[in-house]
Amino acid sequence: MIDKLKLVLALLLVAVGIAGFYFLEDKALVLRILALMVGIVAALAVMWTSSIGKDALSFIGESINEAKRVVWPTRKETIQTTVAVFVMVVIMAAFLAVVDVGFAYMVQWIMGRSA
């Protein structure tokens, strides 16, 4: 129950930050953004104290560790894949253009209009 209250409080803090952003419309943009950021940071601080926030923090840490273990493609592999995708896109575009023109001529022929 207390975790739900913490999450509601976090949402309220975000709402207060947003309200502060709009309430300070006659002030400098830096102050408005600062008000918004303070609301968001306060909400995150409250959220991290809940079990859901701790689970989210654990998930983020595991995701970062997993991203470090990813084997990224070399520059050569990236260029080869990009070229292959580009060639397939051009081929499919040409094919769809031919099919489109064919259907247009068929519809004109069926309706008795000259192509």
pTM of the predicted model, to two decimals? Answer: 0.52
Count Cβ neighbours within 10 Å for each residue of 6-16 and write b for 16 or more, e otherwise. bbebbeebbeb
CB 50 within 8 A of CB 7: yes
Give the pLDDT confidence score for residue 50 in this predicted structure.
87
Domain definitions of the chain by residue range: 2-68, 73-115
Q: Residues in the chain with pLDDT < 70?
A: 114-115
Measured CA to CA, the distance from residue 14 to residue 84 in angstroms comes to 45
Give the pLDDT confidence score for residue 89 in this predicted structure.
99
- The two three-digit tokens of residue 14, written as one number: 């975000």
Tokens 């400098």 belong to residue: 28
- The two three-digit tokens of residue 68, written as one number: 């470090």
Alpha helices in 24-74 (DSSP H): 29-48, 51-68
